[in-house]
Amino acid sequence: MKRIASLKSVFTLDLKALALMRIGMGIVVILDLCIRFSDIKAHYSDQGLLPLDLLFKRAWDPWNISIHVISGLWQVQAILFAIACFFALLLIFGYRTQLVSSITWFLLLSLQNRNPLILQGGDELLRMVLFWGIFLPWGKYYSLDRITSAVKTAETSWFGIAGIGYILQIASVYFFSALLKKPSPEWTSEGTAIYYALSLDQMVFPIGKLIYPHFTFLKYLTFFVFYLEFLTPVLFFVPVFNPFFKALAIILLFGLHLGIACTLFVGLFFIIGIITLIGLFPSAWTKKIDEEIPLLKWVISIIGNKMVYWFNKTMPIKTNSKSTSETESSLIITLLSAVIIYSLVWNWQTTVFADFKIKGSPRGIGQLLGINQNWGMFAPNVFKDDGWYIFEAKAKNNLLIDIGMNGEPVNYNKPVSIVSLFKNDRWRKYSENLLFVNNCDIRPYYCNFLIKEWNQEHLENPISELKVVYMKEVTKSNYLPVIPTREVLAVYNDFGRLKIPS
Q: Contact 187/222 with Cβ under 8 angstroms?
A: yes
Domain boundary among 319, 338, 369: 369
Residues 323 and 402 in one domain: no
126: nearest Cα among 274, 272, 312? 272
State the average pLDDT for the chain: 90
Q: What is the pLDDT of residue 460?
A: 87
Q: Contact 200/386 with Cβ under 8 angstroms?
A: yes
pLDDT tens profile 458-501: 888 898 889 999 999 999 999 999 999 999 998 877 444 555 55
Residues 364 and 395 in one domain: no
pLDDT at position 414 over 90? yes
Domain boundary among 320, 336, 369: 369
Q: Contact 166/233 with Cβ under 8 angstroms?
A: no
Element (H or E) spanning 360, and its range?
helix 360-369
Instruction: Determine which of 72-76, 315-319, 352-356, 389-393 has the lowest per-residue pLDDT on average.
Output: 315-319
Question: Is 376 within a domain?
Answer: no
CA distance 107 to 134: 13
The H-assigned helical ranges of 38-184 are: 40-44, 52-58, 74-93, 97-114, 121-133, 144-147, 161-181
Q: What is the pLDDT of residue 148?
A: 82
Which residues fall within 8 angstroms of residue 256, CB to CB, at 6 or more apart?
225, 228, 229, 273
Q: What are phi and psi of 467, to 5 degrees?
A: -120, 125
**b/e sequence 307-320, b meaning 16+ C-beta within 10 Å:** bbeebeeeeeeeeb
**Residue 96 DSSP symbol:** S
- Round the CA-based radius of gyration of the chain to a whole number and report it: 25
CA distance 7 to 26: 31
Q: What is the pLDDT of residue 291?
A: 77
Q: Contact 140/146 with Cβ under 8 angstroms?
A: yes
pLDDT tens profile 266-298: 999 999 999 999 999 999 999 888 877 666 666
CA distance 458 to 462: 6
Q: What is the pLDDT of residue 501?
A: 53
Residues 354 and 461 in one domain: no
Residues 290 and 211 in one domain: yes
Amino acid at 271: I
Residues 326 and 419 in one domain: no
CA dihedral 492, 495, 501, 502 (to 10 degrees): 160
Select the more confidently predicted residue: 214 or 318: 214
Q: How many separate domains does the chain show?
A: 2
pLDDT at position 129 over 80? yes
Dihedral sign computed on CA atoms, order 293, 168, 62, 56: positive
The whole-model pTM stands at 0.92
User: pLDDT > 90: what percent of the chain?
Assistant: 77
Q: Contact 479/454 with Cβ under 8 angstroms?
A: no
Q: How many residues does the chain have?
A: 502
pLDDT at position 152 over 60? yes
Residues 333 and 416 in one domain: no
CA distance 467 to 443: 11
Question: Is 65 within a domain?
Answer: yes
Q: What is the pLDDT of residue 155?
A: 85
Domain hosting residue 473, numbered range: 385-499
pLDDT at position 163 over 80? yes
49: nearest Cα among 406, 451, 370, 388? 451
Which residues fall within 8 angstroms of residue 310, CB to CB, at 6 or more apart?
none
Q: Contact 382/412 with Cβ under 8 angstroms?
A: no
| 3-state secondary structure labels for all residues of 438-464 | HHHHHHHHHHHHHHHHHHHHCCCCCEE
CA distance 414 to 461: 26
Q: What is the pLDDT of residue 325?
A: 42
pLDDT tens profile 350-409: 999 999 999 999 999 999 999 999 999 899 999 999 999 999 998 877 889 999 999 999
Which residues fall within 8 angstroms of residue 257, CB to CB, at 6 or more apart?
269, 270, 273, 274
Q: What is the pLDDT of residue 309?
A: 52
Residues 365 and 405 in one domain: no
Residues 180 and 149 in one domain: yes
Taking residues 321-344, report their average pLDDT: 81
Question: Is 377 within a domain?
Answer: no
Residues 415 and 331 in one domain: no
Domain boundary among 338, 369, 400: 369
User: pLDDT > 70: what percent of the chain?
Assistant: 89
pLDDT tens profile 166-180: 999 999 999 999 999
Question: Is 287 within a domain?
Answer: yes
pLDDT tens profile 9-67: 899 999 999 999 999 999 999 999 999 999 999 999 999 999 999 999 987 889 999 99
Dihedral sign computed on CA atoms, order 423, 424, 428, 430: negative
Q: What is the pLDDT of residue 328?
A: 77
Residues 365 and 396 in one domain: no
Which residues fall within 8 angstroms of residue 335, CB to CB, at 6 or more apart?
none
Amino acid at 243: P
Q: What is the pLDDT of residue 323?
A: 44
Reported as a pLDDT band with limits 50, 70 and 90, residue 317 is: low
